[in-house]
Amino acid sequence: MTDPGEPRLLSAADVRRLAAELDLRPTKQRGQNFVIDPNTVRRIVRESGVGADDVVVEVGPGLGSLTLALLGVVRRVVAVELDPLLAGRLPATVAEHAPAQADTLEVVLADAMRVAEIPGPPPTALVANLPYNVSVPVLLHLMALLPSLERGLVMVQSEVADRLAAGPGSRTYGVPSVKAAWYADVRRAGAIGRNVFWPAPNVDSGLVAWTRREPPAAVATREDVFRVVDAAFAQRRKTLRAALRPMTAASGDGAAERLEAAFAQAGLAATVRGEQLEVEQFAALTDALVATGALAPAGAAGPTRGSRA
């Protein structure tokens, strides 16, 4: 028998009813694919490891499927929603389906990539079905913005999940892998089928779990380390020496010699490729580039091609 105090999760019929009420037509532009399977949101909450003491940030709550599952387990949910229509309807949905938890939800109408603060107590976890078109920049922005986050579990496109959790030497290792590793230990936490969504996406989905850890010890700023990471992967086939040359050339005469000195100081061969380095090695190399004067100030060199968060 269901506990009357527990949230009543949304069924596929509930999701379609709410969408019809709002005259909602999910758009690719906003990455709107709504979960219609209660067992999937239960699984996400279970795999996330959140509990009664957690304050959870959820990005893109949509019609509230995952929100309701979270409210039954955690102390508070702050739902960040970009769509005014969805943000306006969510409190009423929670009042209908989880009246006992209605006062533990706060809805923030904002773009998660630009939100500057999360109201209330410092959040301890991020659990979300992230909009697939912006999943990596949203995740990295919130990791940087909210140092109180201890852990998280996000659902993203399967290919993106592979990239976020990849290690050095993997063909999927790249900019998202290194930048996520700056903040956390990241791992794949399972796959999600297409039939649990409405509308069904054209791609497979995956769960990515992460646990906060201390960033690498570095004198250089995170921004400088990330500039080096971007340059290193702008053209994967190039050696790191060749990849970094454009961003160090603006440091003036003797730039090539300073670049070679930086590799030596970091204990790296100049012929190594970015895909072979762990985040700690990128931090050490950036420190060496700064110490030798090889790293030009931000904006001094021309843009690198193909860099992405």
Does 111 show up as a binding residue in the annotation?
Answer: yes
Does 35 show up as a binding residue in the annotation?
Answer: yes
- Phi, psi torsion values for 197, nearest 5 degrees: -110, 155
Instruction: Identify the bridge partners of residue 174 per DSSP, sorted by sequence position.
Output: none
Does 202 show up as a binding residue in the annotation?
Answer: no
Does 129 show up as a binding residue in the annotation?
Answer: yes
Sheet holding 105-109, edge to edge: 105-109, 76-81, 55-59, 125-129, 151-157, 205-212, 184-192
CA dist list (Å): 147 to 54, 56, 184:
15, 13, 11
d(CA 144, CA 272): 28
Does 280 show up as a binding residue in the annotation?
Answer: no
Does 254 show up as a binding residue in the annotation?
Answer: no
Using N-to-C axis directions, what is the helix angle for 240-249 and 222-234, rounded to 10°? 120
CB atoms within 10 A of CB 243: 21
Q: For residue 184, give the nearest of 144, 146, 224, 214 by alpha carbon.
A: 214
State the residue for tokens 């019809």: 20
Please report, in range form, the residues annotated as the binding site for S-adenosyl-L-methionine.
Answer: 33, 35, 60, 81, 111, 129
Please report, in range form, the residues annotated as the binding site.
Answer: 33, 35, 60, 81, 111, 129
